[in-house]
Structure formats: C-alpha cells, structure tokens
Structure 1
Amino acid sequence: MFQIRVEAADLAEEEEAKAEETPLVNAQDLQDASFLAGNPQVRVTTGKLRFYRADKPYSSSSSTQQLPKERSTLVCVVTVPSHMSPVEILEFLASFREDIALVRILKDPERSNCMVLMQFNSQERADQFFQAHNGKYFNSIEQERCKIVFVRSIEFDPVIGENDPDYDALEEKRADGEDDAPPSPRSERRASNAQMRKLFPPPPAGMTEIPTCAVCLDRLDASASGILTTLCNHSFHCDCLFRWEGSSCPVCRYSHGDIGSSCEVCGTADHLWICLICGHVGCGRYSGEHAKQHYQETLHTYSLELETQRVWDYAGDGYVHRLILNKQDGKFVEFPSPNNLSGERSQTPPTTSAEEEEGEHRKLEKLAVEYNFLLKSQLEEQRLYYERLLARVEEGESRQLLNAHEHERKHLKRTNAALAEKTKKLEDELTFVRELNKSLIENQKQWKERVRLLEEQNERVEQETALRIGDLEGQVRDLMFYLDTQNKVEQSAHREDIIGGTIEIESKPAAKDNTSTTSSARRKNKKKR
C-alpha cells in the first residue's frame, strides 16, 4: 500500500503567500480521498489522495473561471463518475486530447467516483482546460459537475517491499527464529525474480526501457503521443484506446464500469433488491427491509433479488419470475415450473380436460409463435447477410469508380500540367515577339527617317546631275558639230581656203552672244588642240 499526496493550488494570491508564509497544513483545509487501482482478480493497489485547498475557494457557478496564481501543467479532475469508461473520458477530453501527455485514472470506492490525473504539454492548454470544463456538467444526463484543481506536487510515501533492505532484515530475523520453517512464497518469488533479472538484465544506468502499447505494439513515448493508464494499471496510446470498441481493458478484459451496489437508505451491500419499475435499490428482510418500505411508499409491485435474479411479487406475496405474456389479453401470467422445488407459489387451480385441451392448443400456438419468431429472426439475419453482401459489392463498385476517377484526375492533372507548361512557353514566345515587334517598330522609325534623308539627298543629287547632264549634252553637241565640220572641211575641195579663212559671226542678243562666244571659244580651243 502506498499513498499519494496531491497539493491543489486554487485561488491563493501570490502576494499574500509571500507576505504570510505559514505551514500548509495550518493555513488550508486537509481532505483525504481513498483510491483503488488495479484488477481485483490480479492485484489491487489502494491508498489515499490528499488535497490541500486554498483559503479562498473559487465559485463553480461563476461565468468566468479565475485562474489561480500558482498553477502547473498537472491537473486533477476529482469528481468523475465511476461508470464512465476510459473511452468516454477521452471523448470528454476530445478537444484537448492532442495536448495531454499522460492520463492516470484512480477510483474512489467510498464515493463511487473516479479521479483523473492529467499532464498537459503546455501551461496555456492546461489553463484553457480549467476555464472550459471547471464547474460544467460532464454531459446532459450526468448530475455530477466537473471539479478541477491544479496539482502542485505528487509525493509517494515509502513502503516496505520485496526489494527494500527492511524487508531483507525481516526475512533474516524470520530465518533465525525458525530454522526448520519452509521458505515463504515471497522468498520463492524473489528467487524467481532474481532468475528473471539474470535472463533479462536491467537497462544501462540513466536509461529507461520504454514499454509498448498493447493495441498497436508501438513504444509508449509521451513526447510523441498521449498515454492513458487505466484502473487495471495498463497503459495505452490515447488514440488506440479511443478506437477500442467496448469498455473492457484490451489486455486483461477488466470492465471499468463495474459499480458496487448498496442500499440507497442504509448503505448495506448484502441482501439487496432492485425495483423493476424505477430501479430503486433496497435491502431485504434480513437487514432493514428498505425494499419493502419502498413498495409501501410507491406500490411498485415487482422487485428483483440481485443475488439469485428472482422476482418477488409484493401483492401476491410470492416469486413470479416465471411470467409470460398472454397473447389473448396482453397480461402477464405465471408459467408453471416443471419441478416446483424453488418455493414459488402456484397461482393455477387444478385443471380439467377442457383446460388441458386448451393448454395443448395454447402450447401448439406458442410453438407456432416461437417458430414464427425463429423464422423472422433467421430471415432478419439473412437480410442482414445479403445487405452486407450488397454493401460489399457497392463498396467494390464505388472503389473501382473512385479508382477510375482518381486515374482520370491524375491524367487530367498531367494534361493540365502539360498545357500549363505549353501556355507558359507560348507566353514567353509572345513576350519575345512583342519585344521584337517593339524593337522593329523603333528600327522602322529610324530607317524611315534615314530613307527620307536619303530621298532628299538623292533629289538634290538628281537635280545637280540633271544640270551637269544638260551642260555635258551641250558640250557633246558642240564637239559633234566640231568633228562633223572638221570632217566636212577635210573632204571639201576648198579645204585650203577654208583653213586659212576667217568666220565672222553676226552680233546677237547678249545671251546668244555669250552662248556663241562660248561655243566659238570652245571651237578655237579644239582647233588649237
């Protein structure tokens, strides 16, 4: 047995704590809570959980939850109903499950509830969890409110175990006092543990072997995912346990929803009866007769004995747990037992031949009804079987259609990528062509200007050339005339006379004089040549 002491820091002001440092026990109210952990069929661990509450408790009915000044990432929920399974607890913590590193469930057998210790990854998420769930109902059905406290520290009290020196001294004293006594089972267990340690040596110093999850067989690393430890001391990943169907443990099949029944009036756990109408649990005649008192107050006739599962009729003062439904009038009648050895009362008088015949007829009718029910159940199972087959076929078709759509999507994606690449290439070409066109337009303007200048220059050159050609044509005419005249003179009979003669030219207008003078001068020059 070991004890856990949890110090809860609620609303203690930090300034007051610094100014007035008094012992924790004197300043705050000490409350103890017993807990239970482990599978009862294997090993049960018991202990106490101690809470230190602040002088100024918070109000759970306030709309905004005020955070304590002193708080940590370790949070304790102290009022969890015991019938809530670990999966339901994870559903309650769904919005914060990814931020929780460790979860440990402890059961309080005295108050029929559980306590959940949670280690958050950050202080911010722990504060948000406190503000979101403190003082709230677990769901719309539960009457219990979620009460959350911040945990300041957890202390494990030392206990005497098989590996402690005190236990070894105790074994030595026992061996000295009883030399002939047979070895105790603990000594044999210690020897077997020593052999196991030889076969499987402990990890190196400073290192710890990480256990594995029983569902996914991966290592339970708190830094990678949240870890939940159940009441039976088995640890799992939160996600793995959340996907586990059922409330039992995946390892030992221990059901976490087992609730110990007790009388609602006196609290005794022996000779209990439960009302079949409202579910009230009371004790029998060997205790306080609170079950009968409940009948007298409510006139609920039928009550079930929890130990034997037999039904008692307070109105008829007898066991009527062999009731069947009459098809004719819809009322409950007692079915007689073949061996009336259990002490039930008989409500049927001696039967006559007509009643026996009617009983046989009813028996055949019951067999027919039973056959109809059996046929109906078989047809229902067959319907479910074929519905599952159709669901499989539809699932296969949908999977094929999905694969086809996926293949088409990939093809369209590739085509789209190719078209996008082609579009990009064409856009690049278009940009290049536009720049080239812009450059050509600028060059065209420059060349047009140069062509205009060349045309003007060409026009001037043509004019000058035309003038020079006109001048040259006049000179050629004169030259031809000179050559022609010279040829004629040489062929003439009066050549000598002409050579020694003088040519006189009549006077003409100034322009003509200049022209003739120029022409005669040119002829003279040619003659001289």
Structure 2
Amino acid sequence: MSTAVSVCIFRFEICHNTNLCLQFKSNSSVANDNKQMASSKNKAKLKRDIKEYSIETYTRVGERFMELIPGSSRQDDSSLSTAKVSVSCETEDTKQSSKVFEQIPFISGNPFVETTKGILHLYKENELTTVKNAVVRSQTVCILAVPSSMTCHDLLTFLAACLDDIKNVRIIRDGSPNQYMVLLAFRTQESAAEFYSSFNGVPFNSLEPINCCSVVFVSQVETVLSGDHKPPLLHTELPTCPVCLERMDESVDGILTILCNHSFHGNCLSKWGDSTCPVCRYVQTPEAVADNHCLECNSTESLWICLICGHVGCGRYVQGHAYNHYIETQHCYSMQLENNRVWDYVGDNFVHRLLQNKSDGKLVEGHSPGKEDSYEKIDSMQLEFTYLLTSQLDSQKKYYEEMVNKFEKQMNDDTEQIKEKLIETINDNEGLQNKVAALTRDKQNLEKKLQQLINRLNQTQEDLNEEKQINKAMQENQTVWFEKYSSLEDKFLKFKLEKK
C-alpha cells in the first residue's frame, strides 16, 4: 500500500528595501487609501509581520557551489532541474497595465550566508499524492521543525548515511523560535524516495524521541518581492500549531480541529492541562449537569436526600417518598437539595448547622441563608470542606504511611530471610566442595590401586600361560616315556620267556 505524502512550494516574500517598507508602514496610518492597501496586504499575509530569515548553504568538499536562485535571469541551474525556481517582481508600470513576472537577482553579498527581511510561505497542495509521483516531480525535500539544539555537525552526522546522494544542503531559519528547516537536493529520484522512506518519522536522537524528522517534498522554490501575492493555484499555506508553533501537515502529524474551529496537533492538545481551547479558552466539554430525580416517581421537584444512605425522594407536598423512606428505615436526617437545609424527622424541624468561626476556630451556630451573608456562607462552607479535606488527607497520609512501614518491614524481613538462606547455601556449598575434593582424592587412590591390581592380574595371567605350556610339554614327554617304558617292558618279558 503506497503512502500519501504532501508536495509543497516554498515562497520567500522579501522586502526590496527595508527602510522604504518601514516608511511605507508608518505613512500608511495617515492616508486612507494607504490604509486600505496595507489591510489588503496584511490579509494576504495572514497577519504576519516581516521578519529576518537566514539561508546557509553547505556543499561537499571539492564540489562547486550551486546557487538557490540563479544570479542572472537568463542563467539556468541544472542541479535543480526538477525543483523549479522562479522569481517574480511587480513594478508600478506593470500594476497599471498587467501583472508581468520576471526573474530578478536574489543573491547578494557572501553567497554562503544571506540575511534578508521578509516572510517565508510554505504552500501545500490540496490533494495528497504517492511517493512515486512526488519523486517524479521533484528531487528536493525539506525537513521541517529541526530543533535548534541540533547543530550543523549533528545534522550532517544524522544525514551521514545518504551524504553521497545529496547535492546541496540548505538551512533556512525563519521567525519560529528554537527551530529551523533544511532543504535537501538529491542527485537521483531513487535516492530521494529512499531518504523519505528511511528518515520520515525517525527521531533525531534516542535521548529525545519526541523530536522526529518530518520530511515533505518540495516541487518549487519561489522568491518574490513584498506585495499582494495570492497563493499558487490548488495550494494552501500550511498553518502553525498555536501550542508548539510548528507547521501542521496531516500527512506528517495528526491534526485535531475542535468545536471552536481551531486546529492543533493531536499530541500538543493531549498535553494541554484543561479542557479549554489554548487560543480562545472555549470550553470543549461542558460540565455535566446533575440529573437528580426521585428514585420512586422520577420527580425533579422538592427533592430530599437521606444523609445516612443517600436515598433521593420527593417532598411531602409532591408524593412524600422521602418521608416514606424515613418510616421504612428510621433514617431521621434528610437534606433539601435546593438550599442544603437539613430536616430532622424526629424533632420535626430544621437542624441548625454548627460551623467553626474563622477567627478563633470555635463552633458557632450557622445563620439561615440570605443575600446579606451569602459570601460568608460560601467562605464558611469552603473552610468546612477545607477542614474536612485536611482531615481526610491526614488520615489517608497515616494510612499510606502505615502501609509503607508495613511493606518496609516485610521487605526487611524478606531480605533477612534471603540473607540467611544465602549464608546457609554458601555453607552447604563449601561443605559439598570439601566432600567433592575428598571424594576426588579417594577416587585417585582407588584408581591407583585398581591399576596395580590390573598389572598384577596381567602378570599372573602370563605366569599361568607359561605354566600351562610347561604342563603341556611335560604331558607330551610323559606320553613318550610311557611308550618307551611299555616297549622295554614287552622286551623284558620276551627276554624272560626266552631265557626259561
């Protein structure tokens, strides 16, 4: 989904001769015709006075300086081909015949710093457009409401990621306090679109997330002499927020228009203390009127409220629901809502209220209401409620102090328990470490003994094998000798027989 952006036009309305302008303003109060001319001019300027604004230009090292306005009417600036720059002038001859626009030289003195008296207009198109269409029309963007605490070095550090794609950086300071604007001319359309998508709405630094970078596309920069100049066709001059004195653009910040037709930034009005308009003090949300009525018959005349439970009922001259409530609940005190007088159903008369005297603090009997002591009654009621509020605040203070002490004691107990458990855990850990060290030593000794037993077992196995071989050889020799013995025995028997 494409983002809707604003395309703006900058117009520098300068005073060709400051002294002549001031003299014209002083003489205009004398002549009637001049008064009408001044009123029309002030109306066109939206009641704005001529102030000083300065333009500072910063270029990259090794690059040629490119003027914002050509030095001659016939010179063209190829660096700002997409951001059209025009200068118009009205003379007395052209006023008599017709309005003819011509280019005039604007830069004078040091081209890097100019100080000129005039009015800075910022016109915005009435219809929003997409980033793609805005980039096609202009490669120049403007950063609005840069805080004055952000120096040029900080600004260049903030723009360090895209400095290779920027042709010119123009700083414009107008009459708005503690802020300035920055004009950026990019080399390509893609770099301008990427800058808008990457930097729009991004905070200038992490310590002040409220100050965000507000970027708008600039399709044209104009410089005209002071006079009755109408806004460009299909354009509207951006108003300023009365609270923060910054430009209001609905494509950047949400704008809230209240009942008195004054517009503000939504964030600025949300920080306003009360519900009145910051400009005309109009109350946006009127105080709610109490909708008191009898709880039984919904009557709104002669209402009495029970001081015990708060039940609202009508008087005995309507339907007597307040008296019926006393019969049912035996709540004997009821106050009339019209004049705050208290009625005692038991004594069948009004209760005399006791108030504290302002001089010595003693209890005195309150007088019946009247015009002569209305202010004293108000003061007494105010003092009474002040004492009541003080006592309630004291009790609330004691309650919360007790709660804080309770939580502190509980936290201290928990801390002590945690410390004891930590000490026990450390001791157990040391004991386990000692056991592990002892078991490690025993393991090493057992491993040595096991190795010795393995060596002895191997030696015994070798001896057993040797004995088996010797036994096998002896068995073989025994068989041979047994055969020899058998043969010799046979020979001996034969010899014996032959001898006989």
Question: TM-score when scaled to structure 1?
Answer: 0.30
Larger Rg: 1
Q: Which has the higher contact order (CA 8 A, sep 6+)?
A: 2
**Higher share of residues assigned strand:** 2
Question: TM-score when scaled to structure 2?
Answer: 0.31
